[in-house]
Amino acid sequence: MTYPQPGLPDGQPIPEPVEVEQPAPEKNEGVPDGGNIQTQSQDHAYHNVPGEPEFWKDSTTGQIWVVYFVPNSDPPIPLAWAATEEEMQGIIGENNDIEFDKILTTQQLQATGMLDWGNVGELVDTHEDPFEQWANKVESAAAVRPWLRDPEVLGLIAMAMLEGRDVTLAEFQQTEWWRTHNKAERNWLLLYESDPETAAQARQDNRITVADLLQQAGIYAPNQDVINYMADQFTTGAWSQTYLNAQVTRLSDPTARGRLDPGLAAFIQEGDHTVDTTRENEDRVKSLVDTWLGPAFGRWDQDKIARWAGRLRNDPDGEQNLIDQLQKQRLALFPEYQDQSLSYDDIAQPWRGVVSQAWGQTADETDPFFSKIVRTNDIEEATRLLRSEGLKRNNRATMNSLEDDFLEAFGDRTRGRLL
């Protein structure tokens, strides 16, 4: 977008436009230099462009402009789209003469503060009002220049553009926005308005930094839109470094203390963005549960594991609290072992060997019978139960052991009866 600069060289005053009658069509080739103004009839129905624009002509260059005015702007700010005579025929209809609202010299056009907004082709076949387009551009820019949402500052910047200069620090300091925002936000305003290239680089660097922070927090594929939003909040000074770190933690870990920033929460929800959460310490929780309760009783659901993993991440005493709870559960499951420091793994280990020797196979610790063996805490009783249950299950090792016992007691004459 370019901004025509007002004023004449050497400080010469800008001549005022002179009202004249619109030249007849056959004399249209000679446009007076004084700057003709003709009020356009409101009876026209235009094609391919929204609303009712004005048509201006540069009598110096012959350029035609399709012009709208920014609503509620004081002084009025004209937005102009360049058009050729062929494009104008598509707007007003073929074989119709163009009725210009203003015919001005280049210098007079500049004096109006007209903003060159591109080619009229950008308006063709659109139903969106040009001021909505303008508002959308301002809103988009406000993501990194939030002061543009303030009417006072926006008017100040618009006036400075019309005057072909930058807004001064003193002017910014007089605004309500300046008085109600923090030092980091004010510094960002000054940097962006004075050195946009450096500001753009800082913005990009902060996006990289936020992406790294999210990955370090366990979000291994962070959403780029979410990265941009969080980074821009930090870049513009709305978030401090401490607040950014807290939001990274809260976003990655729903169990973390504090709350998610309302603006960030709304951005994620309205944009239907998905954000992975960290799974840090979930493996540690699973390991502790398995150690203390075993595979039969340690089947915790994922939500419970995630909640305890969050406590381990956010509470220095979280792991000890988990162990204390698991010790109590283990004692309730196996009250025969009163030493609370013994885990399930501790008390089950010798009985794994007993089962393996009796049945010739690795113990199935999810089988309730294994828990029964462990709870006997008595080798003789465990051996009796294993033989009895082995026979019921036709366990080959048990059958072979029984055969050997019979052979030893009664000799070979019993063999055929056992087979």
Q: What order of strands is seen across the sheet that includes strand 78-83?
A: 102-104, 54-58, 64-69, 78-83, 115-119
Q: What is the radius of gyration, based on Cα positions, of the chain?
A: 41
* Alpha helices by DSSP H, 271-394: 282-297, 302-314, 318-333, 344-359, 368-376, 379-392
Q: Are 343 and 330 within 8 A, CB to CB?
A: yes
Q: Please tell me the distance from the alpha carbon of residue 68 to that of residue 53, in angstroms, as a whole number.
A: 5
- Helices 241-252 and 196-216, interaxial angle, to 10°? 40
Q: Are 328 and 304 within 8 A, CB to CB?
A: no
Residue the block writes with tokens 């009725």: 99
Q: Please tell me the distance from the alpha carbon of residue 186 to that of residue 358, in angstroms, as a whole number.
A: 80
Instruction: Write the DSSP assignment of 178-199 as a string of letters.
Output: HHTS-HHHHHHHHHHHH-HHHH
Residue 31: the pLDDT is 35
Please count the other Cβ atoms lying within 10 Å of the Cβ belonging to residue 8: 13
Residues of the chain with pLDDT under 70: 1-47, 71-74, 123-135, 158-159, 161-164, 404-419
Q: Please tell me the distance from the alpha carbon of residue 190 to that of residue 241, in angstroms, as a whole number.
A: 20
Whole-angstrom CA distances from 413 to 396, 401, 405, 410, 417 are 21, 17, 13, 7, 8
Residue 43: the pLDDT is 46
Cis peptide before 75 (omega within 30 of 0): yes
Whole-angstrom CA distances from 97 to 60, 81, 419 are 20, 19, 116
Q: How far from the centroid of its chain's Cα atoms is residue 333's Cα?
A: 46
How many residues appear in the chain? 419
Q: Model confidence over 41-61: pLDDT tens digits?
A: 344 456 677 777 899 999 999
- CA-nearest of 131, 147, 48, 123 to 89 is 48
Q: Are 262 and 316 within 8 A, CB to CB?
A: no
Query: Exposure pattern of 121-136 as b/e (b: 16+ CB <10 Å)?
Result: eebeeeeeebbebbee
Q: Are strands 102-104 and 115-119 parallel, antiparallel or unpaired?
A: unpaired
Q: What residue spans define the domains of the chain?
A: 9-134, 142-194, 197-270, 282-333, 344-410
